[in-house]
Structure 1
Amino acid sequence: MNGLSILDLFLFTVGLIAAFIVSGNNNATSLGVLFATNAARRRNSYIINTVAMFLGASVGSVTMYDSVYSIVQGPQDYVEASVFSVLFSSVFSFYYLNKIGVPSSLSQMLYPSLAVLVLVSHGEILFNWFKFWFTVGSWIISPLVAIVASLLMYKTMKSRIKGESRLSRQMKIYRYLIMTSSAFTSFVVGANAVGIIISAGLTAAPLLLVVLAYSVSASIGIFFSKKTAITVGFRLTKLGYVGASSSIIGSNVVNQVFTLFGIPISITQTILGGIIGLSLRAMTRDVAKQIRQVAKGWLISPLLSIIISLAAYGIVKSVLGI
């Protein structure tokens, strides 16, 4: 780990914590659907999601390795100090905002914070501005595409279910859809959201160590999302089994396409886009509330993370004397 410097150790540790927290929060959707529908036993639900999460983080995240690692350039101390500061601030903000009910995204806090640090660094670090603005554009496009994808998925699934006359056969299809959508969500969270964290960790530690350690941490994080999972699960199943599965699979198809191209996106916002898409079949007060919450997250989360990252960067530079 580059001589086990104190900054390396801190950055690596923050990454471990980030993988744990982000996994537990973002996986609540997939685990919650299994809980609410009883499509699988609790033990099997955890096994399904843990395996999918580990595979997503360890294998599916390969396209995300450059999402942070190559976007900032400069002297190693400055690069590590900046990445540590934004990762720390993003994780703190992510945990706090989701705790108070404001949906937020790690990428929507990390990248703006990193951009601001570059602007105030007086040339100490360089930044790939093209990749930054391309990523920002994906945050706008992905939820909109997810709305369309979830509606198309719903139409396809609905016609397929109607074609089955036997109730027992319909229930098997429901169960298969729910389990597939749950596992797919965990895989995508591991590949994209945890993949971003893995990329940040690569500035401090070797690839094999970071991938293995962060994948295990993300898998363990699933077991601490039970309370959130139950709440989210019952809320989702109000859409109906086909509606819930359609919103999750449709939005995660979008997530996976972006992941394959190595584009950091907001898993939370895209999945909410899919849920809102299915909810738009009947514009209720709950749908309006979801849209307001998404807008609130867009405004608050980057600002909070930027403020904390600036403070953290100043402290780190002062302590290290750089």
Structure 2
Amino acid sequence: MEHGTAAQASLGTEERSLLFHAGVRSHDPDPPPQLDEAAQARVLRKLNWTIVPWLLSFALVCYLDRNNLGFAALQLTRDLRLSCHEYGLGAGIFFVGYTLFQVPLSFGVSRFGAPVWLGGICVVWGAVAVVMAGISSFPAFLALRLLLGVAESSAFPGIYQHLAAFYSPREMTSAYPKVSSANAAASVLGAPLAAAILRLDGHWGLAGWQWLFALEGGLALVFGLCMRLCMPAGPQSARFLTSKERRWLHARQTSSAARQESSRSSLAVLRAVVLDWRVLYLALCWLVIACSMYGLLFWTPLYVKSMFGEVVGPGTGRVERKLQSVASPLPAPSSPPPPPPP
């Protein structure tokens, strides 16, 4: 017990904050229970069937709202009279906000807790997507795409932090890829879903692209509220675990956080990571992959239009049918994999 208290006392300010909002308190009067291997495996299965589906669905909604611009491209550029240059600028400015705000906003999970922060940003980007259904000018298109990038910037760092509240570093190597499979799910579901929604073109006076932004943005609004109300914040609030399992998981994660604390300052650690040639090399590889994949994702509709001619009828034309066959198997790029366990 004295050893556990000393380990918890050695936690830094950021670790204390993250564990507090994850439901891990710095003092537990009762000694942690011990679980055998079968019981530990049972806890892991419960996590995989509860925490992973929440975050997988969150990532799926994120990809749908991020990538639906590519499916809306034909109708959007026609109705707003956007040139290819203006459309490309709007597609790309998303990543300006995404890049600039990803690191600073990633501290939101440790400050407010995952249900509040992740649910909140999901509601925000859903609201931005719904508002995009009402745009009528190029400046509004740019502003909302930039804001969407800011809102989604901390989504995947937040996913990783929330997984770390439940999983050990070694378990993360299998848990995080499960969540990242949302990119494949978004590719399989996103294309036919977008094609079906675009066929609503003209209903209630709205264009198909307006329906697309409104419905998929509305989905994010609802899901964000559900996350805020229902997703467990950490081991101690995980009602799907028994009391004994919660106490064991709480103690394990607290001990793991204490062991991983570095004796160096946060600035020194950040400097070492930024200057590590392996990190820079992998970042460059990811940049090339993301540029290629998002380039295809956002520009495929216009490529198809240039090859097959004009649209024949709203929402049901030859271009849309060709687009479905081309875009459906196209995988959206997933987030980079987590670091290997120590």
- TM norm structure 2: 0.31
Q: Which has the higher helix share?
A: 1
- Whose radius of gyration is greater, 1 or 2? 2
